[in-house]
Amino acid sequence: QAHQVSIKVDATQQGPVINRDIYGQFAEHLGRGIYGGLWVGKDSSIPNTKGFRNDVIKALKEIKVPLVRWPGGCFADEYHWREGIGDKNKRPVKVNTHWGGVEETNAVGTHEFFDLVELLGAEAYINGNLGTGTPQEMAEWLEYMTSDKNSTLANERRANGRDKPFEIAYFGIGNEAWGCGGNMRPEYYSDLYRQYATFLKTPPGKMPKLVASGGDTSDTKWTDVLSSHIPLRMVDGISYHFYTLPKDEWKDKGDALNFSQHEWFTTMERTYRMEKYVTDNVAKLDKNDPDGKLGFYVDEWGTWYNPEPGREPGFLYQQNSMRDAVVAAVNFNIFHEHADRVRMTSIAQMVNVLQAMILTDKEKMVLTPTYYVYDMYKVFQDATSIPFTIKTDKYAEDGKSVPAVTASVAKGTDGKLYLALVNLDPTESASVKLALKGVKAAKAVGQILTADKMDAHNSFDKPAQVKPARYSSSLDELSLPAKSVVVAELIP
Ligand code: AHR
């Protein structure tokens, strides 16, 4: 018996715009996320532009990456920007204390990062060092990047090859201050934030959106304290992190492949907690910032599994399956629902780390199921959400449940009406009835991502096991196979 779902769309109304920055990415100095995955150096035999792999850049351009967060994560609070500029041979070699204790050559620094975002046509989200830096170091980095004057710092940037100031869309003041960023209390961090932010200066009109580093998972205190202790004129958004661990336990998180149906369920149940966590945090923002100035930036999210046997555990490399694709789509539908506050997110992380878009092995590259969901959902970037109500059966196990199907409806920047549907159940199909008000359509035509096996995935040997196929259905009854993601245009 298929799950029964009915959706009523009211196209006479409009909801908030779905900021394209919801589709942001995160690239930390971690494992092979940057070195090997994105950057191979100009002298590599792997075809590259300014040291960045052509194959990876081409694939990322295809999904229209709107922004990249860099250099961390935990790494950000031990990053000293001066070590990543100037002659590469003179840059200090550090130990990456967080991620595998490997050598960090600083070969990718500020200028290289901007090469990357400019190659991608993306915006920059720089994460500053509050944990081990000083207000002076942070202020000078911002001046170095953005000044158009003849200041010594701006001239140093010019001498390093960049005349025009860099453009920065977001600037984060520290990361996970409750943990790797300094084990602080939110009250103490708020005071430090106020101090650091005071000295961040740019030419008129060039100030990035300033991000206060907030809480994680079920916590709402960080959002509450930060949004009440930091004057609203000094901050544009509060960040928040939530990872999906199938077993909800850091010692044994669950494996990326060969998992049970029970673990599929727990993964979905834990992913769907995002809905409550966002709602609860947004309630704090609504209390402290009733005019809606602050964004709620989910700048780390995604699946986090056990490390693969035989690999450096600190590199956080994991395979990516049909389950990850469904996790991504479920999160997108939640972010769209809260698009008035959720104005930016960045999945952890872009290449070779955690829930990645792309995996590489030397010269080989493979696109993950998550990549394809980003590709299918790109029509929602800057789309205007359309209100709808959904009645759906539950997907349940052991007294716990999630909706069997979640959805999004929006009018794209191309003027077309798009519908996204995801069936969370790995064994039952769903039958969706769609009622439209204010618009005439008879068919849904687009793409579907699905697979026979729960852990179907793309590998270097078999790179095309999971990829989108054409989808076409009458609107009288849309059929959604088990564990599937559909993005379709609604047409007459
Ligand atoms: O994404 C990996 C790590 O997870 C980040 O460095 C940190 O911010 C979080 O704990």
pLDDT digits (tens, 9 = 90+) for 324-352: 999 999 999 999 999 999 999 999 999 99
Question: For 275-369, where are the E strands, in sequence order?
Answer: 295-303, 344-348, 358-361, 364-367
Task: Give the Å distances, CA to CA, from 168 to 123, 145, 163.
Answer: 7, 8, 15
Which residue segments constitute the domains of the chain, with CATH numbers given? 3-10+386-491 (2.60.40.1180), 20-382 (3.20.20.80)
Task: Give phi and psi for 401, each to the nearest 5.
Answer: -155, 160
Q: Can you give the pLDDT at residue 292?
A: 98
Measure the CA–CA gap between 212 and 288, rounded to whole angstroms.
15
Q: Which residues are catalytic?
A: 176, 300
Task: Compute, in angstroms, the gap from residue 45 CA to the centroid of ligand 1.
Answer: 31
Measure the CA–CA gap between 396 and 398, rounded to whole angstroms.
7
Q: Is the pLDDT of residue 1 over 90?
A: no
Q: Measuring from atom 2 of ligand 1, which residue has the nearest CA?
A: 73
- 67 Cβ below 6 A of ligand 1: no
User: For the segment 361-417, what is each residue's pLDDT rounded down to a tens digit?
Assistant: 999 999 999 999 999 999 999 999 999 999 999 999 999 999 999 999 999 999 999
Task: Give phi and psi for 399, each to the nearest 5.
Answer: 80, 0
Task: Give phi and psi for 143, each to the nearest 5.
Answer: -65, -45
Q: Measuring from atom 4 of ligand 1, which residue has the nearest CA?
A: 73
Task: Compute, in angstroms, the gap from residue 1 CA to the centroid of ligand 1.
Answer: 41
Q: Can you give the pLDDT at residue 210?
A: 98
- 77 Cβ below 6 A of ligand 1: no
Task: Compute, in angstroms, the gap from residue 417 CA to the centroid of ligand 1.
Answer: 36
Q: Measuring from atom 5 of ligand 1, which residue has the nearest CA?
A: 73
ipTM: 0.99
For residues 193 and 199, the answer to whether their CB atoms sit within 8 Å is: no
Is pTM, for the whole model, over 0.95?
yes
Question: How many Cβ atoms are within 10 Å of 373's Cβ, its own excluded?
Answer: 27
For residues 25 and 347, the answer to whether their CB atoms sit within 8 Å is: yes
User: For the segment 234-283, what is each residue's pLDDT rounded down to a tens digit?
Assistant: 999 999 999 999 998 899 999 999 999 999 999 999 999 999 999 999 99
Measure the CA–CA gap between 416 and 443, rounded to whole angstroms.
13
Question: For 180-320, where are the E strands, in sequence order?
Answer: 209-212, 237-244, 295-303
- 348 Cβ below 6 A of ligand 1: yes
- 176 Cβ below 6 A of ligand 1: yes
- 104 Cβ below 6 A of ligand 1: no
Q: Can you give the pLDDT at residue 155?
A: 98
Give the DSSP letter string of 85-139. SS-GGGSPPEE-TTTTT-EE---S-HHHHHHHHHHHT-EEEEEE--SS--HHHHH
User: For the segment 18-64, what is each residue's pLDDT rounded down to a tens digit?
Assistant: 999 999 999 999 999 999 999 999 999 999 999 999 999 999 999 99
Task: Give the Å distances, CA to CA, from 33 to 36, 312, 355.
Answer: 7, 13, 11
Q: Which of 293, 327, 308, 313 is nearest to 426 (CA)?
A: 327
Question: How many Cβ atoms are within 10 Å of 264's Cβ, its own excluded?
Answer: 24
- 214 Cβ below 6 A of ligand 1: no
Q: Measuring from atom 8 of ligand 1, which residue has the nearest CA?
A: 73
